[in-house]
Structure 1
């Protein structure tokens, strides 16, 4: 059976094959099949560059070396360490501060008082302007004076300022008008019949134009131009033109640790004349041109501060054909001995100072319009001092100095040209200042040794007191005395503020002074010395604030009602009281 099955399969396969051979042939041909798909590249597929290509760049495309310039702004190192620690301050209620105020008052001796300050700022164009004015007068004569002794002072100041991109500028116009009387006639003229014929009034007029420039990011820090005109009732005229500039030259290009070098320069033209001198009718003219340069350098080393510099001044007196070239030191050193408690300092300096007619009238309004004008050379000024702060309430300052001055001005009373019976001299009427009631200026070489002590004590946050004592010793070359200069001066100041109340008081002491006497009327020489007694003057100033706008004030002067003399034969007013009202506001 098994063999029959196998034989059957073989026969079947043979029959099938023979049957297929008899059909048409259907062949399968070889074809190329193209399959399109997304290509995903690999790093291994990339052909690597076998060499580095050489490229030629133009001059404009070449790599340049970068430079970073730093433009440093010159800053002067003017820091000076000072002993002491911050003091506690009782701020209390913070009051609103107003830019404008008007104060008016009235006092005995027929004394009206008016003061005002008006200011306006425009933040949009960064500008501002303002006006200040002050007037005070006394229209009642001083007791026991034979001539009119009234006075008046009127001062105004108008300014405009503007902030620019690279600098700020400001223009100021100042003016003043002062009236005084030469009322200090000698005793022998007080009971004479000529008093009614004397016209003692003097009037001073002052106008000043100032221009200020403050630069930003410049080696020129600031500059000031000043032109002033001064005159009086006797046709005296004085003109002063002054230009001052401060430079700050950077030195960091030498060494980055160096501070800037400040240099001050000054150019001055000074000219004036008096219609006559005191001796006769000769006109007095003066004309001086002065230039100055003052470099100085400040630096510190281990808490010790140094200032080293000098001043060079060239002066040309064109009226007298005199030229001077002067050199002055300008050196100072400061060192803390005990940090925050004791600091000592020392130095030497000097300067050339221009004496002006206006400056003399501010110090002594009773000078005659017949002065000789020259400059004062402060040849050497040595000083040594210390600042001490024991605690937050108590501080002390002491200073000793030695000063050598050439042509220092001194006030001396003029001799009278009248003997009490005459109003004429050489056929001409006497002027109001020719009755021994005015002063002239003498110049001498003077060395001054000075001791100065100052102390301040804050008893409470509301009460502060301070005291100053100054002693001067003079050595003169030609004159017998340091005319009208005291040897001893002292003052005590106290301030108080609590809530709406405020007050301050001053006690002032001036020692004995000397003035010259004459053997007869003009042209006699000085033959003696007159002593002007020392005096004490106490003044009190106080007030009360009702609110932020309104307050009242009261000023009391010469509370002791002392009858002392400001200058020889010039008595002062007795007890004085002046009260008024102040109003503060904004536009």
Structure 2
């Protein structure tokens, strides 16, 4: 059946700058690094990935240069889909049970708002030659939350399920890796569907659909080979496919789109001179869509925009040169990127990094990079599940992502990282509500406004201290200064007379944590997060200040032995009311109790 959308429900789509000429290129020099490891177990971050967190705040990436393993098994509602998925030993899911040789783990927790967390994994094979892992994760919630704008409650529903199978075989000179992953996510667009004047006592009838569950499904598969670490000639060849689909479009009567992505990663490098290496990393992607290039409009109605879902290709080549000394490393390279389509473009960015040990256990580091961000439907869903399912946005061209800093662990138990950076991006995007109160349509879509050029200056510090195994303390603060300008396309819409801003992004972020282990089997942790200076944008009323996020979470865990443990989590114990996206309130307070078993 062909999809036909109600034009009234899409009256704001023109501002989105819909196009399909974009690239899903990541930093291939990291992603294809021959030192990377296969993810055999998914990462678990209880703060971000609880069922109580039905979506998460966009965050500034950590300043550290990290390896990027193949992401086969990551279950995440993370705000940053490019974050590293780290290996996690079985038995370390919710409690502090130390690593053991057992092959399986099981975690299950339940709490208020019908919050449920569950994880199950098993290493079928675990030898030097062969590793075979199967896993499954579940997150769900089904409770009522209260709007900040009016004295009304709405049910926020979420049902996330993800499972996978990963295999690795080590030959004498190379490694073969394969993986499959399936994800099913059911949720409702429960956000406030209309703008309301806070001074008005009149609550209009909600005719848009805030009850029906949208369904998003993901199928991923990878197969690849790579040379052993430190081989004289290193190589990598990795083939992948991702199928991402929505069940519905603008509402229940409308079909949703399907996005298929074919991906090829390759790398080749060779060492010479004992401490030098030259190489070439590459990536090729092809995007295929189920919907036609131009939307079909019902007879008698008109549309003032064109709706694109055309297929396209993207390619990136990254030649580089590396050299290292006794206490320093330098990488010099360039990223040359191209994508096809009606708005085809070529761009180049630096690919440079350097670090030097300036004192004992103290390193000065520098990085300057850039990329074409995908902004595909899959990427947008990973960042914000409430993104409108009927629109694709312009690719974001990051010309410079630079950072300089110094980090040190010279004092016993103490570590710090002081950093500053600058980022220049064309056609960047920031989430704002697309308020819609139309029958048979979903209500509040948290839609990315792109066609905005941004410059971001950030400075921050990250401090950590630990004393033996008794306690750990961490404190991180980041200040962001944004300058956002309209592109010519955005100006032509005449959308607003106000200067655009980095909607939804915090000006200041503070993250703090304390973990105490008074006895061997007992641990208690406190995590605090503050985000200030956030704003949203309403088409009917311009910019709106959003409440600061001021959240304190407590977790206690007790391990009876190396097999069985229990935990208790208390989230938002300050009973704060806030939204991560306008109109989408989160749970005021939630509690969860659970068990963790190793077998």
Same fold by TM-score greater than 0.5: yes
* Equivalence for 1:130: 133
Q: Structure 1 residues 451-460 or 157-166, which shifts more?
A: 157-166
Where does 1:374-413 land on structure 2 (aligned, <5 Å)? Answer: 374-413=394-433
Superposition deviation, residue 107 in structure 1: 0.6
- 2:262 matches 1:262: no
Aligned to 2:530, which of 509, 513, 537?
Answer: 509
* Equivalence for 1:108: 112
**Gaps (5+ residues) in structure 1?**
1-74, 83-91, 424-429, 520-526
* Equivalence for 1:271: 288
Q: 1:115 to 1:347 in 2, by over 3 A?
A: closer
* Equivalence for 2:441: 431
* Equivalence for 1:244: 265
Aligned to 1:182, which of 178, 181, 189?
Answer: 189
What is the TM-score with the length of structure 2 in the denominator?
0.72
Where does 1:26-105 land on structure 2 (aligned, <5 Å)? Answer: 96-105=100-109
Distance 2:232 2:511 in 1: 44
Superposition deviation, residue 533 in structure 1: 1.1
* Equivalence for 1:300: 324
Contact 2:189 2:210 in 1 (8 A): no
Distance 1:288 1:226 in 2: 17
- 2:240 matches 1:226: yes
Distance 1:95 1:244 in 2: 33
Q: Structure 1 residues 558-567 or 385-394, which shifts more?
A: 385-394
Superposition deviation, residue 96 in structure 1: 3.6
Superposition deviation, residue 123 in structure 1: 4.8
Distance 2:332 2:102 in 1: 43
**Gaps (5+ residues) in structure 2?**
1-32, 37-63, 66-95, 249-255, 487-498
- 2:220 matches 1:208: yes
* Equivalence for 1:65: none
Contact 1:277 1:284 in 2 (8 A): no
Residue-by-residue CA offset, 1:10-51 (whole Å, 9 max, x unaligned): xxxxxxxxxxxxxxxxxxxxxxxxxxxxxxxxxxxxxxxxxx
Residue-by-residue CA offset, 1:339-364 (whole Å, 9 max, x unaligned): 33x33223422222211112212222
Distance 1:581 1:271 in 2: 43
Q: 1:412 to 1:338 in 2, by over 3 A?
A: same
* Equivalence for 1:117: 121
* Equivalence for 2:465: 457
* Equivalence for 2:333: 309
Distance 1:308 1:414 in 2: 43
Q: 1:274 to 1:398 in 2, by over 3 A?
A: farther
Superposition deviation, residue 229 in structure 1: 0.5
Distance 2:327 2:403 in 1: 20
Q: 1:316 to 1:152 in 2, by over 3 A?
A: same
Superposition deviation, residue 162 in structure 1: 2.3
Superposition deviation, residue 530 in structure 1: 0.9
* Equivalence for 1:48: none
Distance 1:571 1:405 in 2: 30
Distance 1:123 1:437 in 2: 48
Q: 1:99 to 1:362 in 2, by over 3 A?
A: same
Contact 2:109 2:592 in 1 (8 A): yes
* Equivalence for 1:334: 355
Aligned to 1:166, which of 170, 173, 182?
Answer: 173
Distance 1:417 1:157 in 2: 39
Distance 1:456 1:327 in 2: 37
Contact 2:145 2:154 in 1 (8 A): no
Distance 1:123 1:150 in 2: 41
* Equivalence for 1:290: 314
Contact 2:535 2:544 in 1 (8 A): yes
Where does 1:524-535 land on structure 2 (aligned, <5 Å)? Answer: 527-535=541-549
Distance 1:389 1:198 in 2: 51
Alpha-carbon RMSD across the aligned residues, in angstroms, is: 3.0
Contact 1:410 1:443 in 2 (8 A): no
How many residue pairs get aligned? The number is: 472
* Equivalence for 2:41: none
